[in-house]
């Protein structure tokens, strides 16, 4: 976000939040859109003086300000400085040659207007997808427009604004009903000394002193249009060298280097790939997880009857469940005793997994279905962020014995996709099936899972290049690569190799990376072979990768780079 602004004194121009809120959102969006801290300082005075659809210092609607940003655009602050006054649009202080003048493409209603709360999940998704939003917090004594920039979950000890938001803060104590509720983070226009250095954390709640509603939430849609020619350009970055680029919140520019069309979700961590539609990180392979930490990456679905439980040791019910974790101390299980039967469903959903550069993928886990009244356990997969799910790709029902069992599901048919996986456990009928009399009905159908992993492997046959070839596009391989004697392989695009793969440059062959990039590969240049990096060509070696130049081989990287 850009620096905090102030409407300054509430007189003689008190009611201008309807301008400051949308402008704050636009300044933040510009940084995200151009993928760089260009930190525009845009003119609220330009809107105040030139927007005829609002009523100046007497107040107005942020929606009208958004229309102004769409139809007219806004100049920079230096062109038309804030004067706390309804200056005419043709005032001499309104320059005719601004250094910046920017328009938005359009707007999108995220919530309905009026004193009703919007759907919090839709608002969260909108923040993730579109960036800062224009929003209003309505309360019993009025309303206030601000830029809505984020959200969080209230924990014990947190400080939030009570009442209308301008009353004294409250510290959330143990047992307060607000613990676990969503709070919203706003950039305000009251100066840096207001709230938390100019930001406020507010919760929509009807039990606080004065009802409060989050409403009039609207997204400012890109692309941004520059009326003046500022030569701003969208930056394509791959800071973690994982082959995924980030280009901000707009469409992928045509001038990005050859790369996947999915933007990197965390460009500081090569183990994290793109974000899914719900804003969750996708994880690269190999992936291993055994529930030793409750980090929230596996989450309970709301489309079920009961929840999975993270547990250590044996389950409370007799005659069922594991005696402990398959690995470590903790595992997840579904309690089948009363009232969790008959046929109650529990769904546990994974984070997203990035299979876009993989070919041979296996999903592995351990399960325990021990007892005489066991229901069923199934696995399903989604390729659209969890909006729709496949039929069962694996399932078991009934008693499977007292030991942990291993299951492997081949996901190679989903290679190239961004996927989510879910476990669906259904408890039994609650009616004993040849149970000993000492076992309570319904207490014999606990279902547990642990030690989850996803791994990929190389194809058995290497890709052989036996003649002169130029690879100019984005290329993702599933196997080792060999340049045979007499062949010249020129890379001008991007080649993404599977982890632990080997590129072999045979005697009498050449591998030339000119302006392109090779990622995730061990490279062996045999005697009489040649590796050449030119025109800023790059070879990226990740952990445990090696570059081996045999005696008698030639290696020239005068105008290239090894990372």
Q: How much is the average pLDDT of 27-31?
A: 97
Return the structure tokens found at 169. 């803060």
Q: CA 62 from chain center: how many Å?
A: 28
In the predicted structure, residue 434 carries a pLDDT above the cut 70 = no
Given a contact cutoff of 8 angstroms between Cβ atoms, the answer to whether 48 and 60 are in contact is: no
Neighbours of 207 (CB within 10 A): 7
- Confidence (pLDDT) at 34: 95
Q: Round the average pLDDT of the chain to a whole number and report it.
A: 87
List, edge to edge, every strand of the sheet that includes 502-505. Answer: 463-465, 481-483, 502-505, 522-525, 547-549
More confident residue, 445 or 90: 90
Q: Token match 């004194």: residue?
A: 9
DSSP 124: H
Q: In angstroms, rounded to a whole number, what is the distance separating the alpha carbons of residues 168 and 116?
A: 24
Q: Which residues pair with 511 in a beta bridge?
A: 489, 531
- Residue 259, exposed/middle/buried by CB under 10 A (0-12, 13-18, 19+)? buried
Given a contact cutoff of 8 angstroms between Cβ atoms, the answer to whether 43 and 80 are in contact is: yes
- Confidence (pLDDT) at 10: 61
| Among 413, 153, 432, residue whose Cα is nearest residue 299 | 153
Given a contact cutoff of 8 angstroms between Cβ atoms, the answer to whether 110 and 32 are in contact is: no
At 45, give phi and psi (nearest 5°). Answer: -65, -35
| Among 193, 440, 473, 474, residue whose Cα is nearest residue 356 | 474
Q: Token match 């996803």: residue?
A: 454
Q: In angstroms, rounded to a whole number, what is the distance separating the alpha carbons of residues 237 and 32?
A: 13
Q: Which residues pair with 146 in a beta bridge?
A: 135
Given a contact cutoff of 8 angstroms between Cβ atoms, the answer to whether 110 and 126 are in contact is: yes
Q: Domains, the chain, ranges and CATH?
A: 17-221 (3.90.70.10), 287-457 (2.60.120.200), 463-562 (no CATH)
Residue partners of 421: CB distance under 8 A and separation at least 6: 349, 350, 353, 363, 379, 380, 381, 382
Q: In angstroms, rounded to a whole number, what is the distance separating the alpha carbons of residues 446 and 319?
A: 9
Convert the pLDDT of each residue in 478-500 to its tens digit: 889 999 999 999 999 999 888 77
Q: CA 313 from chain center: how many Å?
A: 34
- pLDDT band (50, 70, 90) for residue 211: low
In the predicted structure, residue 60 carries a pLDDT above the cut 70 = yes
Q: In angstroms, rounded to a whole number, what is the distance separating the alpha carbons of residues 388 and 422?
A: 12
| Among 336, 307, 308, 310, residue whose Cα is nearest residue 321 | 336
Q: How much is the average pLDDT of 202-210?
A: 61
Q: CA 206 from chain center: how many Å?
A: 31
Q: In angstroms, rounded to a whole number, what is the distance separating the alpha carbons of residues 341 and 560?
A: 65
Q: How much is the average pLDDT of 461-475?
A: 93
- Confidence (pLDDT) at 433: 45
Per cent of the chain over pLDDT 90 is 54
- Confidence (pLDDT) at 441: 38
Q: How much is the average pLDDT of 110-131?
A: 81
More confident residue, 208 or 175: 175
Q: In angstroms, rounded to a whole number, what is the distance separating the alpha carbons of residues 556 and 512?
A: 9
Return the structure tokens found at 487. 């062949």
Convert the pLDDT of each residue in 135-194 to its tens digit: 998 876 678 899 999 998 888 888 877 555 455 677 888 888 788 888 899 999 989 988
Lowest mean per-residue pLDDT among 262-276, 364-378, 436-450:
436-450
| Among 388, 397, 456, 399, residue whose Cα is nearest residue 422 | 388
- Confidence (pLDDT) at 376: 96
492-523 in b/e form (b: 16+ CB < 10 A) is bbbbbbbbbbbbbbbbebbbbbbbbbbbbbbb
Q: How much is the average pLDDT of 310-325?
A: 91
Q: Alpha carbon of 272 to those of 97, 133, 136, 151, 479: distances in Å?
A: 44, 26, 34, 22, 22
Return the structure tokens found at 526. 């045999």
- Residue 436, exposed/middle/buried by CB under 10 A (0-12, 13-18, 19+)? exposed
Q: How much is the average pLDDT of 510-527?
A: 92
- Confidence (pLDDT) at 333: 96
Helix (H) or strand (E) holding 334: strand 330-334
Q: How much is the average pLDDT of 206-212?
A: 54
- pLDDT band (50, 70, 90) for residue 457: confident
Q: In angstroms, rounded to a whole number, what is the distance separating the alpha carbons of residues 111 and 406?
A: 46
Question: Could you tell me the pTM of the whole model?
Answer: 0.67
Residue partners of 3: CB distance under 8 A and separation at least 6: 39, 41
Lowest mean per-residue pLDDT among 14-23, 354-363, 465-474:
354-363
Using omega within 30 degrees of 0 as the cis cutoff, is the peptide bond preceding 118 cis? no
- Sign of the Cα pseudo-torsion (127, 211, 205, 198, in order): positive
Q: In angstroms, rounded to a whole number, what is the distance separating the alpha carbons of residues 346 and 354?
A: 25
In the predicted structure, residue 436 carries a pLDDT above the cut 50 = no
Convert the pLDDT of each residue in 294-316 to its tens digit: 767 898 888 899 999 999 999 98
In the predicted structure, residue 440 carries a pLDDT above the cut 50 = no
């Amino acid at each position: 976000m850009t620096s905090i602004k102030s409407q300054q004194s509430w007189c003689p121009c008190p009611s201008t939040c309807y301008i400051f809120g949308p402008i704050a959102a636009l300044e933040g969006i510009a940084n995200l859109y151009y993928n760089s801290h260009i930190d525009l300082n845009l003119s609220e005075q330009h809107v105040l003086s030139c927007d005829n659809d609002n009523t100046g210092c007497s107040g107005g609607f942020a929606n009208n300000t958004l229309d102004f940003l769409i139809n007219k655009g806004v100049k920079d602050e230096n062109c038309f400085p804030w004067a706390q006054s309804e200056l005419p649009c043709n005032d001499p202080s309104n320059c005719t040659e601004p250094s910046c003048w920017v328009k938005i493409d359009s707007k999108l209603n995220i919530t309905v207007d009026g004193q009703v709360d919007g759907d919090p999940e839709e608002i969260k998704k909108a923040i993730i997808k579109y960036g800062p939003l224009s929003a209003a917090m309505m309360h019993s004594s009025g309303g206030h427009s601000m830029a809505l920039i984020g959200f969080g979950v209230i924990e014990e000890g947190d400080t939030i604004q009570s009442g209308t938001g301008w009353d004294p803060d409250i510290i959330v104590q143990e047992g307060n009903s607000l613990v676990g509720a969503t709070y919203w983070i706003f950039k305000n226009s009251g100066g840096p000394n207001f709230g938390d250095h100019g930001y406020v954390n507010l919760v929509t709640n009807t039990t606080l002193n004065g009802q409060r509603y989050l409403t009039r939430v609207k997204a400012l849609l890109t692309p941004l249009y520059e009326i003046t020619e500022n030569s701003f350009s969208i930056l394509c970055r791959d800071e973690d060298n994982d082959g995924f680029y980030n280009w901000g919140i707009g469409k992928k520019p045509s001038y990005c280097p050859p790369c996947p069309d999915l933007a990197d979700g965390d460009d500081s961590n090569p183990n994290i790939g793109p974000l899914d539609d719900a804003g969750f990180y996708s994880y690269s392979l190999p992936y291993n997880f055994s529930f030793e930490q409750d980090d929230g990456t596996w989450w309970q679905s709301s489309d079920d009857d009961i929840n999975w439980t993270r547990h250590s040791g044996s389950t409370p019910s007799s005659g069922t469940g594991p005696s402990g974790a398959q690995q470590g101390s903790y595992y997840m299980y579904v309690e089948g005793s009363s009232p969790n039967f008959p046929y109650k469903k529990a769904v546990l959903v994974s984070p997203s997994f990035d299979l876009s550069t993989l070919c041979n993928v296996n999903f592995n886990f351990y399960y325990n279905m021990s007892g005489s009244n066991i229901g069923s356990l199934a696995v399903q997969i989604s390729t659209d962020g969890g909006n729709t799910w496949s039929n069962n790709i694996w399932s078991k029902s009934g008693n499977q014995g007292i030991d942990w069992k291993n299951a492997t599901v081949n996901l190679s048919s989903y290679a190239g996709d961004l996927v989510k996986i879910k476990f669906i456990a259904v408890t039994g009928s609650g009616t004993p099936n040849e149970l000993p009399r000492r076992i309570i009905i319904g207490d014999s159908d606990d279902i547990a899972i642990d030690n989850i992993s996803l791994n990929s492997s190389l194809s058995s046959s290497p890709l052989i290049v036996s003649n002169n070839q130029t690879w100019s596009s984005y290329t993702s391989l599933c196997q080792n690569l060999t340049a045979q004697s007499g062949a010249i392989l020129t890379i001008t695009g991007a080649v993404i190799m599977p982890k632990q793969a080997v590129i072999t440059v045979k005697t009498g062959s050449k591998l030339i990376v000119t302006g392109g990039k090779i990622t995730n590969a061990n490279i062996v240049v045999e005697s009489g072979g040649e590796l050449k990096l030119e025109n800023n060509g790059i070879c990226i070696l990740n952990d445990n990768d090696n570059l081996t130049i045999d005696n008698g081989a030639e290696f020239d990287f005068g105008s290239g780079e090894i990372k």
